[in-house]
Structure 1
Amino acid sequence: MSHKLFRSTAVVSAMTLVSRIFGYLRDVVIAIHFGADGATDAFFVAFRIPNFLRRLFAEGAFSQAFVPIFMEYKERQDPQQLRELLARTAGTLFGVLAIVTAVGVIGAPLLIVIFAPGFTDDPHRYALATQMLRLTFPYLLFISLTALAGGVLNSFGRFAVPAFTPVFLNLSLIGVTLWLAPHMPEPVVALAVGVLIAGVVQLAFQIPFMHRMGLLPMPRWGGKSEGVRRIMHLMLPALFGSSVVQVNLLFDTLVASFLPAGSISWLYYSDRFVEMPLALFGIALGTVILPKLSQHSALGAAREYADTLDWAIRVAGVVALPSALGLMVLAGPILTALIEYHAFSAFDARMSALSLAAFAVGLPAFMLLKVLAPGFYARQDTRTPVRVGIIAMVVNMGLTVVIVLPWYLLKLPGPHAGLALSTSLAAYLNAVMLYRRLRRNGAYPHPRWGALLLRAAVASIGMVVVLLAFSPPVHDWAAWPARLRALHLAELIFLGGGAYVLLLAAMGVRPRHLMHA
């Protein structure tokens, strides 16, 4: 069973790696051309608002509610009823999000006040953010329909296409930066245009694959459809519960709007580097196991359900521990080697490195959340993550006050890093509570990951020792040309990864420990 899951995860990870490589190129191009200032802060706010809603409507609540019901119909109903469910779901989703999009475009000035109130002190930045939000908000509609198509493809084991689709967002933003921005009165607005173009292209890319599978029915309103009502019933509480991390990040944006100009951009760039391992493994694992967990739950296969969850936790832990420590140790070299060029200054790199290290602290928790949450959604339980998420969000807000306020009042450098740290700590609380509830309700009675993850922790510490021994001081990196920086960084990553694998092997860990449930 886990051989197939491992292969599916590898496919998703490979496609995600392609997307993340282009994502890195996108961020480099944006950083070099626009730097980190008030204008880029305005764009990242204008992009984060629909992107946050995308995580709620598309990759979050909708996908977590839709896939279990879709898999149940796939296992128990005939193909015509499955297509009818898809048509009704697509029509309802389109209708609801068309209204939400119209409200968002009209109410853009108010949304900026709500999500980035600090911008009101700078009329130009406020006006720029409002203008760009009106361009980026329709992205929510297109990307949510793209997520619907991706959920269907994933349910039939077609993981590669949905995982590759985000490449088009990266290509679009690179293209508008290089060719459209120089011809615009306000160059940064080109990025908002690129987001809108990407939404249309990503949806168009998946439609032919849906058509070949015979799963492209005419969308119809389905408010009275039993399947749609069940999806909506699961989705409403999950609108919050499945995206607590995103709620916390959005809260960080609100607070960061009051911090020095550039703070939102520094948080964005550091978050992007944490997203690399999270997307390659955490999101990939969650994507692959949700249909399988949903199938086991629908068939009443409790043992197979628990084995699948245990396998995912083991894989997530073995990847997350070294990734987190590696990012903490190499935060400075990573930012200096990869994006400290032209408009992105050495100061910007230092500030981003602070928040990268703080975000990296929470990487194991972020990854566990991607694995544990599907354990509830597969059982059509969206209420438990909501209750847990509310607690984690309140704790995050409290930690923000406790950590960031003294940092800011004492005028210490990099108060934005306190935002990242509070988000990381709240994610641990969220993950621990979800895990305990899975154990308590009997869904995961016999965990078998303890010995393996202890060895992974020891190997990760050994990896850190190797990295510290061979990593040059950060100020040396800035003096090197780009090619030499990239070469040294690649050597350190290879050296650290090799040390980790060898130490695991020396402690008796073999591939079968990850291949078998």
Structure 2
Amino acid sequence: PNLLRRLLAEGNLTMSFVPVFTERYRRSKQEAKEVVDVTFTLLTLLLSVVTLAGVLGAGVFVRVTALGFESDPEKFALTVLLTKITFPYIFLVSLGALAMGILNSRKRFLMPAFAPVLLNIGIILGAWLLSGRFAAPAVGIAWGVLLGGVLQLLIQVPPLIREGLFPKFSFNWKHPSVRKIGRLMLPSVYGSAVYQINLLAITFMASYLPTGSVSYLWYADRVIEFPLGIFAVSLATVVLPLLSEHAVEKDFVRMKQAMRKALATVWLVNIPAAVGLAVLAKPIIAVLFFRGGFNEESTRLTAETLQFFAIGLPFVSATRITSSAFYAVQDAKKPVRAANLSVLVNIAAGFALIWPLQHRGLALGVGIGSIANFLMLIYDYRKSVGPLGLRSLLGSIFKMAFGAALMAAVLILVGHFWDWTFAPMLPRSLYLLAMIALGSGTYFLAVLLLKVEGSEVLLGAIRRRLRRR
């Protein structure tokens, strides 16, 4: 279901819809509303069929994606149940992604930016409140996924109504903009969902590893998705309308400036996020999941998996930005080529690392594949449009890395004296919050003193908050 979410929602629909919607809105709001209505109608019909097929054919889906599970009937039955519960989420999140594209195109960013976080909140609530009510804790998490999908959709309804763009059914199948979106969507399906395709590939390989390996990858990925949802996906979605405007005007100088600023912003947050997740992996996993059947050994193995996933976080984030530049000029072919390379590298790295590192090696392979994806996109952008000018960011990147290294040193030093990972829930949670506050404070103080690009925005936000108090 997570793969189909990217295929039908956040990835290709948003990337293909926004440039066309922006182009039409420049002509008239009525033309743009027609695009919204007919796209909503087609998407609703398509999603209804996909969701019904997914629920009814869950057993077949699991057999295809996790062949190794068939040897364990209990594991196979549980996976089928989880698939049936979570498949309707595709319907909810895809409509939510359409709403997100509309609102971001109209520069209404607050609710769409917060919406992806609600999925993670729903999952965490499911793990916290519902897991203990089922024999298999994962069932509670699955219901949390559905809750997150409902919240993601509902939170965007009020701003759509205020904009006068709340969709209604329209069966104008021959609308030229819809055909244009369709042509962009088909090649972008693969390119925009490469991260999920890589996860699907390693899940398939992990199904042949000892029991629990797939779960360790899944839990660790849920944590990684949190900074991706908050910063990378949200920022890429916000910057796409701006890039689309520059593309329509053929102002590639300003497009490059916007891309560099977006990359600097996402790295300002996700470089320390990657380091922080690696250093605090065990207490993070313990606070979120250590209960019931999720024991100390599960916590340790999932934390180690998270550490390897964290290596690729800055590159996965950057890929979201760079691929947006191609969709803005309505070129979906080059992201597909980069995705091909990423998948091949991920599979090759997975086979090379699965035996020495097992599921940890598979997580590392995803990061290596993401690096290949990013480098190929940069190469293709240079050939198509010209140099992006990343050398101008090297100074800031080194300063960010220094600040993150300083943060890691402080956290490791403090953690050496006080480790409450497996303490009762309250002190465990307080310990984690204190460590996050200490690490964040150390890093952002460092980048402010070093005058990293973008840090002045952070300082301004802090000053405004202090004035209110």
TM-score using structure 2 length: 0.89
Q: In the alignment, is the contact (CA less than 8 A) between 2:282 and 2:421 conserved in 1?
A: no
Aligned partner of 2:310 in structure 1 is: 360
- Indicate the SS of the match to 2:46: helix
Q: Secondary structure at the match of 2:107?
A: coil
Contact map agreement 2:112 2:234 (CA 8 A) in 1: no
- Cα deviation for residue 63 of structure 1 reads 0.5
Mapped to 1, the partners of 2:271 and 2:132 lie a distance apart of: 43
Say whether residues 1:244 and 2:194 are aligned partners. Answer: yes
TM-fit CA distance, 1:473: 6.7
The answer to whether structure 1 residue 163 and structure 2 residue 113 are counterparts is yes
Q: Name the residue aligned to 2:462.
A: none
- For residues 275 and 215 of structure 2, the distance between their equivalents in structure 1, rounded to whole angstroms, comes to 23
Q: Which piece of structure 1 moves more, 322-331 or 360-369?
A: 322-331
Q: Which amino acid in the other structure matches residue 393 of structure 1?
A: V
**One of 370, 378, 381 as aligned partner of 1:427:** 370
Distance in 2 separating the partners of 1:223 and 1:125: 44
The 3 A distance-change label for structure 1 pair 467 and 197 is closer
Q: Summarize deviations over 1:312-363 as a string: whole Å, max 9, x none.
A: 1112222222222222222223323543334321101110111011001111
Distance, in Å, in 1 between the alignment partners of 2:312 and 2:224 is: 9
1:467 aligns with one of 411, 416, 420:
411
Match of 2:185, as an amino acid? M
1:292-317 Cα shifts (integer Å, max 9, x gaps): 11111112222211110010111222
* Mapped contact 1:314–1:514 kept (Cα < 8 A): no
Contact 1:337 1:477 in 2 (8 A): no
Q: Which residue of the partner structure matches residue 19 of structure 2?
A: 68
For structure 2, the residue ranges without an aligned partner over 5 or more in a row are 459-469
**What is the rounded CA distance, in whole Å, between the counterparts of 2:414 and 2:157 in structure 1?**
49
Equivalent of 1:451 in 374, 395, 401? 395
Deviation, 1:378, is: 0.8
Which amino acid in structure 1 is aligned with residue 406 of structure 2?
G
Output the amino acid matched with 1:453: I
**Aligned equivalent of 1:85:** 35
Give yes or no for the alignment of 1:267 onto 2:210: no
- Aligned residue pairs total 457
Distance 1:335 1:227, change over 3 A: same
In structure 1, the partner of 2:447 is 504
CA RMSD, Structure 1 to Structure 2 (Å): 2.7
The answer (yes or no) to whether the contact 2:120–2:226 under 8 Å persists in 1 is: no
- The amino acid across from 2:43 in the alignment is L
1:248 shift after superposition: 0.5
Give the counterpart of 1:228 among 161, 178, 189.
178
Q: Secondary structure at the match of 1:252?
A: helix
Report whether the alignment pairs 1:344 with 2:294.
yes
Is the Cα contact below 8 Å between 2:35 and 2:177 reproduced in 1? yes
Task: Return the TM-score normalized by structure 1.
Answer: 0.81
Distance in 2, Cα, partners of 1:502 & 1:198: 34
Report the counterpart of residue 332 of structure 2 in structure 1.
382
Cα distance change of structure 1 residues 361 and 186 upon mapping to structure 2, 3 Å threshold: closer
Are the counterparts in 1 of residues 131 and 137 from structure 2 also a CA contact under 8 Å? yes
Question: How far has the Cα of 1:373 moved from its partner?
Answer: 1.1
How far 1:81 sits from its partner (Å)? 1.2
Which of the residues 228, 231, 240 maps onto 1:281? 231
Q: Which amino acid counterpart does residue 435 of structure 2 have in structure 1?
A: L
Map residues 78-227 of structure 1 onto 2, 5 A cutoff: 78-166=28-116, 169=119, 189=139, 191-193=141-143, 195-196=145-146, 199-200=149-150, 202-227=152-177
2:463 is matched with none
Q: Distance in 2 between matches of 1:152 and 1:216?
A: 9
Quote how far apart the aligned CAs of 1:368 are: 0.6
* SS at structure 1 position matched to 2:11: helix
Partners of 1:354 and 1:73 in 2: CA distance: 48
Matched residue SS, 1:258: coil
Letter in 2 for 1:66: F
Describe the SS at the equivalent of 1:449.
Answer: helix
Q: CA deviation at 1:424?
A: 0.6
* Candidates 366, 369, 379, aligned match of 1:436: 379
Superposed displacement of residue 139, structure 1: 2.2
**Which stretches in structure 1 are left out of the alignment for 5+ residues?**
1-49, 408-413
Change (3 A) 1:189 1:334: closer
Cα 1:358–1:193 change in 2 (3 A) is: closer
Q: Is the 8 A contact 2:133 2:140 kept in 1?
A: no
Structure 1 counterpart SS, 2:416: coil
